[in-house]
Amino acid sequence: MDFMHSPQLRALPFSRKPLPALALAVHLACAGLIVAGIQPAQAQQAGSTASYTIPAGSLAEALSLFAQQSGTPLSFEADRLQGLQTRGLQGNYSVERGYYVLLQGSGFRIGKTPAGYVLLPAASNAGDAAPDDSVLPQVTVMANQLGEISEGTGSYTAGAIATATRLVLTPRETPQSVSVITRQKMDDFNLTSIDSVMAHTPGISIVTWDSERTEYYSRGFAIQNFQYDGIPMQRDSAYSAGNTLSDMAIYDRVEVLKGATGLLTGSGDPGATINLVRKKPTRQFQGHVAVGAGSWDNYRTEVDVGGAVNESGSLRARAVATYQDRHSHLDRYQRDTTVFYGILEADLGPRTLLTLGADYQNNKPRGSTWGGIPIHDSNGNFNDMPRSFNNGANWSHWEQYTRTAFATLEHQLENGWVAKMQLNHQINGYDANLGAAAAGYPNPANGTGTELWVGQYIGRTTSDAADVYVSGPFSLVGREHELVIGGSFAKRRWKNDGYWNLPGYDFTVPDYYQWQGNAPEPAWGAPDYSNNETTREHGLYTTARWNLRDDLKLITGGRWSSYRNRDQELDESGVFVPYLGVVYDLDQNYSVYASYTGIFKPQSAQDEQGRTLDPLEGKNREIGLKAAFLDGRLNASAAYFDLVQDNFALATGGVTPRGTPAFRAAQGVKTRGYELEISGQLSPAWQVQAGYTHSVSRQQGERVTTLNPANQFSFFTSYKLQGQWQGLTLGGGARWQDKSWSMAYLPDNSSVKHVTPSYWLLDAMASYQFSDNLSGSVNVNNLLDKKYHTVFDWYSTYTWGEPRSVMLNLKYTF
C-alpha cells in the first residue's frame, strides 16, 4: 500500500533490509581523497545521536524519511497530516529530539509505546514544549555551527546563519541586514557563477571591468571581503585571481552580510561581506548528473555524489565535478572552467566531528579583453560600438586558478558548549598575457587614433587562515545567555611579476573599427618589476548575547586586531573594533533592532607622491524592523543605515610615481540609505525574493562613489503548478537600477561626466519534473534583449552587458 496516499494506519518497521553496498570512488587531484563503500545506516541505538539530512516540505514525508534513517518504528495516519509542512532537519540528533524538531508547530507530538513511536495530538497545556532534558539525551547539532543548510529545503530564505557574530541566529535575531541566495534559487534560475548570484542579490550592483574582472558594490562601496565557510579571505580586484569567477556547483548558499563586519573579518570594507558556504555530505546516498547547452555554444556538465562511506554512517563524503565550455556574445572569446570538490566528515566520537576537504578551479579563457571600449571617439562623442566587439588580441588570455584545502574540528563540551577550530589554505593565481585595442580615441572617419595596451602579469596569493573559538550558554541573574570567545590568524603572501616595457614593439592599431585581434604576441623578456609582499593579521574577538527579557536581547562584542605589511609600511596594532546590537520582539512575528560597529581597514592606495594613505576608519549604524512568518519560512526586513568614514580613498585623476591611479584621503564621507527585502515562502508552492535599496554617499555635500546606483530594485519568484500541470514550475524576475555616472577623459585631457542610464532587465524560467529522477529546465536571461553598459572609470572605458541568452538543462537525480 502506498504510504503517501493511504489514510490507513502505517507502521514503519524497526529496521529495513540492507541494500547492496554501493561503491563510490572519486579521485580528487587536489586532495587525493577516496570515497568508497557507501551503505545504508543501521538502526540508531537508544540514547545516542546520529546525523540526519531531512529536507523541508511535507511533514508526512519528513517523518517517514526520519523513521527510515533512524531505523525506528512510527505509526500514524497519513491523512491527519495532509497539508502540514516542516522545515526539515540537518545535524546530529537523538531520535526523540529529531521527532520533536520536525513536529514543531504542527499540533502533534511523539508518544512512545512498547511497539515503538506513535503520533499524538499535542497536549493543550504543553503546546510545543521541548522534551525534558532530564529524560532525553542532550541535543547534539554537530554540523550547525555555520547555520542551517539550505539544500533540500526548497526555500528562497535562510534558516539560522552565523556570518555576523559567530552566534547561530535566525535572520530575525540578527541585528544587521543579511541577504541569502539559497541552493534552491541557484538551481531554479541557473545561477552557476558568483556574478549571476550577485546579480540576484538585493542591494548589490555589478561593474564589469573586462571579460575576466567584475567588481561588486553594496551601500556605495566595493566589496573586497570574502569568506569561505566563515573564514575571511580578502581579494585584490586589480590582479583578479579567481574570486569573482567562482563556480557555484560546490556551494550550499551565499550569504551577504550588509554593512561593516570588522568583528569577524578584522580589517574590511563597510559595504558588505560575501560568505560562500560549501555543500556538506549527506548520510543517505544521493547525487545527480546534469548537462546543459545554451546560447553562443555554452556547454556545461556537472556531477555531484555523496553519502555514508561506512555501514554505521560515521564517515560521510561528497564529491562534485564540473566542466563548462563557454563561448560568448563577444567575438573570438571562449572560457573553459574546470571544478573539483571533495569533502569528508568523520564522527570521531559522539561529540566530535572532523571535516576535511579541498576544492580546485581552473579558468582558461582565450581572447580576453582588457579594460573595455573607449567611452569617447576623437570628436568627443560617445563611441558606440557593437555589443559583440572584442578589444582583445587573439593571443590575449587571463588565466585564473584557485586551490583550497580546509579542515574543521568541532567538539561538543559539557553543558551545551562547543569548541571549534577552522583551518584554511588557499592559493589564488593568475597568468595574464594581455593585449587590447583600448588606448586612445578612435577617429570615426578612418579608425586611426588608438594603440594597444600590452602587458604580462604572472603571480599568485597564498593565504593561510586559522580561527578557533568556543561558544555556549551561561547563566546569570536567573537567565541563560550565550557567549563566544575566539581568535584568528591570517597570513597572505602576494608574489607578482609584471612585464610591459617592450622596446621596438609596434603598438599601433591601423583601423580600430576593423579590429579583429590580429597583432603579434610580444617577446616578453625579463620582468620590469616584481612584488613580494606578506601581510599578517591576527586578533581576538568576543560576543555575548544577553537575554535581558524573553522579548529583549542585547549583543555586545569587540575585536582587538593587529595588522602588518612591511612592504607597504603598514603596521597597526591594538586596534579595537566594537560591536553592539539589540533586538526587541514586538510580538511573535515582528522585531525591531539596532546595531553599531566600527570600521577599520589599512589601505594600499597611494597619493601622487607615492605615500600610502592612512587606514580607513569610521562607524556603521543601522536600525530596522524584521519579521518572520510561517515558522520562519518567510522573512522580511526594513533597515535604515548611516555610515561615516575618514581617510576614504578618492581618485585624484593623477598617477603615482609607479604610474598607477593616485588617490587622496577624504574625511567625513557620509553614507545614508535604506533597504527593504522579503524572501521565502508565500505558500507551499510559491517562493519569492525581492528587495529595494536606496543609498547615497557624500563628502562635503558632493556625491562620491557614483558608479553605484542610488536606487535598485529586484524581484524573483517561482510557482509550482498543481492539478493537471503538476510537475511544472514557472518563474521569472526583474532587476532595475538607477542611473550612475563617472568622470571620463576627452581627447584634450579634460574630463566630462558620463552618465549610464537606468535600465530594467527581465528574466524567465520554467522547469518540469518528468519523473522522480529526471527533470528539465529552460532559463532566459535579459528576456527583452535590453542594451546597457557599465563603466570602468580608471580607464575611461565601458563594457556592454550580455544580450538575451537561453540555457537548457537536464538533470538526473539518484
Q: Render the burial of 687-710: b for 16+ CB within 10 Å, e for the rest.
A: bbbbbbbbbbbebeeeebbbbbbb
Are 92 and 203 members of one domain? no
Highest mean pLDDT among 5-9, 24-28, 742-746: 742-746
114 and 176 co-located in one domain: no
> 168 by DSSP, 3-state: which?
coil
Q: What's the average model confidence in pLDDT over 745-773?
A: 94
Q: What is the pLDDT of residue 715?
A: 98
| Domain count of the fold of the chain | 3
Can you give the pLDDT at residue 41?
37
Least confident range of 49-53, 59-63, 109-113, 261-265? 49-53
Which structural domain range is residue 29 located in? 3-121
Q: Within a domain: residue 307?
A: no
CATH number of the structural domain spanning residue 244: 2.170.130.10
Which whole number is the average pLDDT over 105-127?
Answer: 65
What is the enclosing helix (H) or strand (E) of 288?
A: strand 286-294
Q: What is the mean pLDDT of residues 240-254?
A: 90
pLDDT score of 202: 96
Give residue 464's identity as a one-letter amino acid code: D
Domain membership of residue 636 (yes or no) is: yes
pLDDT score of 197: 98
Give me the pLDDT at residue 2, please: 32
Number of other CB atoms surrounding residue 135 within 10 Å: 7
Does position 633 have pLDDT exceeding 80, yes or no?
A: yes
- Answer yes or no: do 103 and 180 share one domain: no
130 in a domain, yes or no?
Answer: no
Asked whether residue 315 is assigned to any structural domain, the reply reads: no
Strand partners, 418: 412, 471
Cα–Cα distances (Å) from 633 to 100, 183, 424, 545, 550, in that order, read 18, 15, 32, 24, 22
The pLDDT of residue 40 is above 60: no
Q: Picking from 202-211, 547-556, 695-704, which range would have the lowest pLDDT averaged per residue?
A: 695-704
What mean pLDDT do residues 112-132 have?
Answer: 56
Residue 95 lies in a domain: yes
Report the pLDDT averaged over residues 506-521.
Answer: 95
| One domain for residues 190 and 97 | no
Q: Are residues 346 and 426 in the same domain?
A: yes
Place of cell 493543550: 124
Asked if residue 721 belongs to a domain, the reply is yes
Tell me, what CATH number does 19's domain have? 3.55.50.30
Write the CB contacts of 758 (distance below 8 Å, at least 6 apart in sequence).
709, 736, 737, 738, 739
Are both 212 and 332 inside the same structural domain? no
Are 544 and 445 found together in one domain?
A: yes
Q: Identify the pLDDT of residue 113.
A: 66
- Runs of H (alpha helix) within 46-182: 59-70, 95-103
| HEC profile of 481-524 | EEEEEEEEEEEEEEEEEEECCCCCCCCEECCHHHCCCCCCCCCC
pLDDT tens for residues 478-496? 999 999 999 999 999 999 9
User: Considering 211, 241, 274, which residue would you say is the last residue of a domain?
Assistant: 274
By three-state DSSP, how is residue 199 classified?
Answer: helix
Q: Is the pLDDT of residue 579 over 80?
A: yes
Based on the fold, state whether residues 249 and 392 are members of the same structural domain. no
Q: Which of 122, 272, 88 is nearest to 197 (CA)?
A: 272
- Reduced to 3 states (helix: H, G, I; strand: E, B; else coil), residue 62 is helix
Residue 287 has pLDDT above 80, yes or no: yes
Average pLDDT over residues 509-517: 96
How many angstroms separate the CA atoms of 281 and 291, rounded?
22
- Cell 555589478 sits on residue: 206
Which amino acid type is present at position 415?
Answer: N
Residue 142 lies in a domain: no
Strands 85-86 and 74-77: unpaired
CA distances from 417 to 75, 238, 413, 422, 793 (A): 35, 42, 5, 17, 50
- Do 66 and 97 meet the contact criterion of CB atoms below 8 Å apart? no
Average pLDDT of the residues in 290-317: 95
Judge if 201 and 59 occupy the same domain: no
Identify whether residues 115 and 179 lie together within a single domain: no
What pLDDT sits at residue 453?
94
Pick from 53, 87, 121: which residue ends a domain? 121
Question: CB 543: neighbour CB atoms within 10 A?
Answer: 24
Predicted local confidence at residue 5, as pLDDT: 32
| pLDDT average, residue stretch 580-605 | 91
Q: What is the pLDDT of residues 729-751, one digit of tens each?
A: 999 999 999 999 998 989 998 88
How confident is the model over 29-47, as a mean pLDDT? Answer: 37
The band of 103, judged by pLDDT with boundaries at 50, 70 and 90, is: confident
Instruction: Say yes or no: 205 and 105 in one domain.
Output: no
Q: Which of 453-457, 482-486, 523-527, 799-803 has the lowest mean pLDDT?
A: 523-527
Under a CB-based contact definition with an 8 Å cutoff, are residues 689 and 636 in contact?
no
- Looking at this protein, which amino acid is placed at residue 771? S
Give the SS3 label for residue 414.
helix
Which tops the pLDDT comparison, 416 or 357? 357
Question: pTM of the predicted model, to two decimals?
Answer: 0.83
Distances (CA, A) of 669 to 88, 193, 652: 45, 33, 16
Domain boundary among 121, 156, 189: 121
In a domain, 127, yes or no: no
Report the alpha-carbon distance of residue 667 to residue 650 in Å, rounded. 10
What pLDDT is attached to residue 83? 66
CATH for 727 = 2.40.170.20
Question: Once rounded to an integer, what is the mean pLDDT over residues 348-353?
Answer: 90
Task: State the average pLDDT for the chain.
Answer: 86
Residues 350 and 212 in one domain: no
Measured over all CA atoms, what is the biggest interatomic distance in the chain, rounded to whole angstroms? 93
Across the range 51-68, mean pLDDT stands at 79
User: Cα(745)–Cα(739) distance, rounded to whole angstroms?
Assistant: 19
Using a pLDDT cut of 70, give the percent of the chain over it: 88
**32 pLDDT tier (thresholds 50, 70, 90):** very low
Evaluate whether 348 touches 354 at the Cβ level (below 8 Å). Answer: yes
DSSP of 614-627: PPEEEEEEEEEEEE
The pLDDT of residue 46: 47
753 and 743 Cβ atoms separated by less than 8 Å: yes
Which residues contact residue 628 at a Cβ distance below 8 angstroms, ignoring those fewer than 6 apart?
Answer: 170, 171, 172, 589, 634, 635, 636
For residue 264, what pLDDT is reported?
A: 76
